[in-house]
Amino acid sequence: MSWAIMILAFGLVAILWKRKKANPWWLKSSLVFIGGCSLADTALGAWLAARVNDIVDIVPVNSGITVGAATLLLIVLTVYDIGIDRKADKTALICLVALPVLFLAGVGPLAEAGSGLTEAVSQVGANSIGRLIGGQ
pLDDT of the chain along its 136 residues, tens only?
788 888 988 998 999 888 877 788 888 888 999 999 899 889 998 899 889 888 888 878 887 788 888 888 999 999 998 888 888 888 899 999 999 998 888 876 777 888 888 888 877 766 776 666 666 5
Maximum CA pair distance of the chain? 53
C-alpha distances out from residue 1 to 10, 38, 41, 64, 69, Å: 14, 9, 10, 30, 31
The DSSP 8-state label assigned to residue 57 in this structure reads T
- In this structure, are residues 65 and 55 in contact, taking their beta carbons and an 8 Å threshold? no
C-alpha distances out from residue 90 to 45, 95, 120, 135, Å: 20, 9, 25, 36
| pTM for the predicted model, two decimal places | 0.82
Q: What pLDDT score was predicted for residue 130? A: 67
